[in-house]
Amino acid sequence: MKLLVIGLGQCGGRIADRFARLNHRGHAQRGINVLADAIAVNTDVTDLSGLRTIKPDYKHRILVGGQRTNGHGVGKVSELGAEIAKENTDKIIDAIRVTERFYETDAFLLIAGAAGGTGSGSIAVVTQHLKERYIGKPVYNVIVLPFRQEETTETRAVFNTAMCLKSTYLVADAVFLIDNQRYVKKDSAADRNLSTVNARVVEPFYNLLCAGEETNQKYVGARTLDAGDIIQTLAGWTVIGEGRSQIPRRMPLCMPKRDFRYKMNETSKAAHAMDQALGELSLTCDPKDAGRALYLVTAPPKEMSMEVIKELGDNLKLMAPDALIRSGDYPRQKGSLDVAVVLSELRTVRKITNYFTKAIDLISVMKSKRGLGYETRQLEETFNDIPMLL
């Protein structure tokens, strides 16, 4: 699957930069390009200057709202970020037009942090504009949720997150939810921590994107998971995860391949990778709530028997009994067996509901301070009180 990636705001730009690095890795290691292009959009000059891999020209690093912010960002005011995005969508479209491989693009992937101003305010606006402009081409969002300390200390972060989630859910074809807190290492330096988090956000996409772009016959799977399968799987709230089992270079001499213990060892490695993928999903959720799912096994050809793939499918079906499941194999990896899992069309996500509840409580407090009556209502009824950024 080939994506055109657009990072919005500081968080979105840095993750888009990681996707650009991932594309370079795929080209160097496998001769595969998984991106048509990568673009960063921001209201802050310094944030754009800090990117490493995205091309530095003004068509790839797009500064918007320069006259309104003097190149210093919107100060976490997502409403201002939405206004600036509405005024500057033509700049983004012009950059897309000159992309050399745009005709190869299967889908757009827009990335933003939910708690900030530029990214959270602009992602829904740009998503809607792209859907209206490029009819039939899916537009997916990656929404990075705030760290726990941001939720507890910054009221504005919670409010921005609720507005961003509501707005993107109404316009995007699917929304990948990323919980920053799941990837944090408390003892690491801040810059290294953020770099590690961004790398772990992007990594599960690697094999998933490469599998359908493979051109070497030796590495084409028996059951290829390509762009069509991914597009048919992605809808609504979505999470992604990846697990890995190391494969020893040499099997013990006492365990020939026809030995029953060898077969058990083979399937247990795959089951371990699947369990790890489900345990490392980008957001905590109940797989039973998924309406659609897919998994991709990437391993040396000798490690991927039909029994292994069937075992993984049975395991995932037990975890997500109501999901329509698609699967594939990719005989590429050396020294490990990797399993990428996507759960999509999630019916309920507790963390998202919590953001909406907190935002509604904040609105209630603000209205009471202004002397406005605010009667107690159900969450579904008060959902409309959360502003939209479109």
Spell out the residues 6+ positions from residue 382 whose beta carbon is closer than 8 angstroms to its own: 360, 363
Containing 140, the helix (H) or strand (E) segment is strand 139-145
Mapping DSSP to helix (H, G, I), strand (E, B) and coil, where does residue 107 land?
A: strand
Tell me the mean pLDDT in the region 297-312. Answer: 88
pLDDT of residue 44: 95
231: Cα separation from own chain's centroid: 14
Tell me the mean pLDDT in the region 130-156. Answer: 93
Containing 179, the helix (H) or strand (E) segment is strand 174-179
Q: What is the pLDDT of residues 30-87, one digit of tens each?
A: 999 999 999 999 999 999 999 999 999 999 999 999 888 998 999 999 999 999 999 9
pLDDT of residue 247: 84
What's the CATH code, domain 238-344?
Answer: 3.30.1330.20
Q: What is the pLDDT of residues 104-132, one digit of tens each?
A: 999 999 999 999 999 999 999 999 999 99
What's the CATH code, domain 3-202?
Answer: 3.40.50.1440
Antiparallel, parallel or unpaired: β 336-344 and 292-298: antiparallel
Task: Please write down the long-range contacts of 83-86, taking CB distance under 8 Å and 24 or more positions apart.
Answer: 83/121, 84/43, 84/118, 84/121, 84/122, 85/8, 85/121, 85/122, 85/125, 85/126, 86/125
Q: What is the pLDDT of residues 243-261, one digit of tens each?
A: 999 887 655 555 555 555 5
More confident residue, 384 or 323: 323
Using alpha carbons, list the distances in angstroms from residue 368 to 80, 364, 379, 381: 25, 6, 18, 18
Distance separating alpha carbons of residues 23 and 62, to the nearest angstrom: 20
Range(s) of the chain covered by CATH 3.40.50.1440:
3-202
Distance separating alpha carbons of residues 163 and 40, to the nearest angstrom: 22
Range(s) of the chain covered by CATH 3.30.1330.20:
238-344
Tokens 């690093």 locate to 61
226, 173, 223, 205: which is closest to 341 by C-alpha? 205
Q: Provide the terminal-to-terminal Cα distance of the chain, rounded to the nearest Å.
A: 29
